[in-house]
Structure 1
Amino acid sequence: MATVKSARKVDLQDSGSDLSEQIKAATQETHVRAETTQLMSNFQKGQITRTQYKVLLCSLYEIYTALEEEMDRNSSHPAVAPIYFPQELDRTEALESDLEFFLGPQWRSKIIFPAATHRYAQRLREIGKEKPELLVAHAYTRYLGDLSGGQVLGKLAQKALGLEGTDGLSFFSFPGVNSANRFKQLYRSRMNSIELTEEQRSDVLQEAVDAFNFNIQVFDDLQKMLSVTLESAEKPKESSRRALFPSASSVQITVGLCVGLVTMGIGLYSF
């Protein structure tokens, strides 16, 4: 994992006493690093294909399945209960709907995601079993990022993919949330009410930094994939490999691109 400034070194006098503000201060550096990548610029320009979007959905599904299963399992935990809003925030069913739209009824057999996504999901399950209070960091960065950027990203994806309606874009829709701004205020208030020891609070801040680093690792991997892929980009492709992903090298570049886009939900828009 990339070396970053430790969240434990954050000056709490500068960031305030609220947990949400402390997370914002602790992750400022990694947040900026995550949102200033070329991939995000491309997304803002609407440069995303259906193949890329399909793999993005696969990665999101793996991450949210792990996050929401652990949130459900720890719903009565004193650190999780205040921010447990499954009806308003859960993304798993929305992602299942989107995957079925793009991949068909047998979508589960077509799921593909890279090692970086698997590592992120593994971490979520690990802390869900051992330190549930750390789920606060991941829930905050994921859900509030999705609420902040969902509407804009949804419209960009709709235009880029040539979709006339909302089918395939359920991930960006939060029908249980009437006002994103008001709900985010409620969420921050609930999160700030969580009672944590000094050590637990410090661990949550570090976990928030780590959450961004899981995504930054993907960008590093992407650059390596691109350098290898570009060398063989002009080699003949086997037509039989074009059902969902054109070729093995194309799978690599697509996986990298789409997992990079996962970070946009938590990086492009301020919380």
Structure 2
Amino acid sequence: MSIDLATRLREGTKHSHTAAENTAFMKCFLKGIVEWEPFRKLIADLYFVYRALEAEMRRHQNHPVVGPMYFPELEREANLAKDLAFYYGDNWQNEIEASPEGIKYVNRIQEVANTEPALLVAHAYVRYMGDLSGGQSLKNIARSALNLPADKGTGLHEFDQIPTVEARRAFKAKYRDALNSLPVDEALAQKIVDEANLAFQMNRNVVHELEPAVRAAVGEHVFDLITRQDKPGSTERAPGSTSVELVAAE
């Protein structure tokens, strides 16, 4: 009997999803508080993360579990490089470095790639489904807050081959079907869910490092007003609720 891995991942990461939405950085972001320096540092960290993830997905594209989840149209490295050229200039490769938590994130991706490649599926799921879902709203917030040119600075969330809401919805259905077709047993399915929760945690650790810069930019009082209260996560609310969903499978 096939395993509904897509639903397992969605249901099994609800609490991690809520925690991600309730980081101080994300609460500020959703209020339109996007500061240039922490934002470009985040883009730099994500460049290293996606570069590692995509190199390993390509390396294991003939793996029975990884291969069906390798979609070249999702790759973000080239777009992130364009973003970094915009934020740091032509010499961007010499201007950026991964943060300590970013390095841990990259190391984990490389570790599972070398020891249990099937777990790469969890990292791909968390990153790409977030980009295709709530990432589209985050893109608009960043554009407005930073007054970005129309074609600069948000390449992370630009999908040339999946450009419309309808196309993204259809692709996510295709992605769910691919997840549910994977040759995994109960034990491996649970390992993938556990790894997805770890991926959420590592992403939270990366943004936590950026919060002091946001606090300094907006001031203690405003920062505390925005961040003091947690809210239910979008995946835990009733249908019809409006919120930015970081990873969606609708």
TM-score over 0.5 for the pair: yes
Counterpart mapping for 1:25-174 below 5 A: 25-86=11-72, 88-174=73-159
Structure whose alpha-carbon radius of gyration is higher: 1
* Structure 1 residue 171 displacement after superposition: 1.3
| 2:218 is equivalent to residue 214 of structure 1 | no
Measured in 1, the distance between the counterparts of 2:51 and 2:186 equals 30
| 2:238 is equivalent to residue 270 of structure 1 | no
* Structure 1 residue 96 displacement after superposition: 0.4
Measured in 2, the distance between the counterparts of 1:220 and 1:95 equals 21
| Matched letter for residue 121 of structure 1 | V
**Cα deviations by residue, 1:240-265 (Å, 9 ceiling, x for unpaired):** xxxxxxxxxxxxxxxxxxxxxxxxxx
Confirm or deny: 8 A CA contact 2:135 2:246 kept in the other structure: no
Measured in 2, the distance between the counterparts of 1:127 and 1:269 equals 22
**Cα deviations by residue, 1:154-175 (Å, 9 ceiling, x for unpaired):** 1111111111312122111001
Structure 1 window deviating more from structure 2 (42-51 vs 72-81): it is 42-51
How high is the TM-score relative to the length of structure 1? 0.74
Measured in 2, the distance between the counterparts of 1:64 and 1:203 equals 21
Residue 175 of structure 1 aligns to a residue in which SS? coil
| 2:177 is equivalent to residue 192 of structure 1 | no
* RMSD over aligned Cα atoms: 2.2
- Bigger relative contact order, structure 1 or 2 (CA pairs below 8 A, ≥6 apart): 2
* Structure 1 residue 270 displacement after superposition: 3.0
Confirm or deny: 8 A CA contact 1:34 1:267 kept in the other structure: no
Measured in 1, the distance between the counterparts of 2:135 and 2:9 equals 21
Q: Percent of counterpart pairs with the same letter?
A: 37
* Structure 1 residue 52 displacement after superposition: 1.9
* Structure 1 residue 181 displacement after superposition: 0.6
Q: How many residues align?
A: 218
Gaps of 5+ in 2: 220-243
* Structure 1 residue 24 displacement after superposition: 1.4
- Alpha carbons of structure 1 residues 31 and 194: separation in structure 2 relative to 1, 3 Å: same
Measured in 2, the distance between the counterparts of 1:53 and 1:218 equals 12
Confirm or deny: 8 A CA contact 2:23 2:208 kept in the other structure: no
* Structure 1 residue 49 displacement after superposition: 1.9
Residue 175 of structure 2 aligns to a residue in which SS? helix
* Structure 1 residue 70 displacement after superposition: 0.4
How high is the TM-score relative to the length of structure 2? 0.80
Measured in 1, the distance between the counterparts of 2:37 and 2:29 equals 14
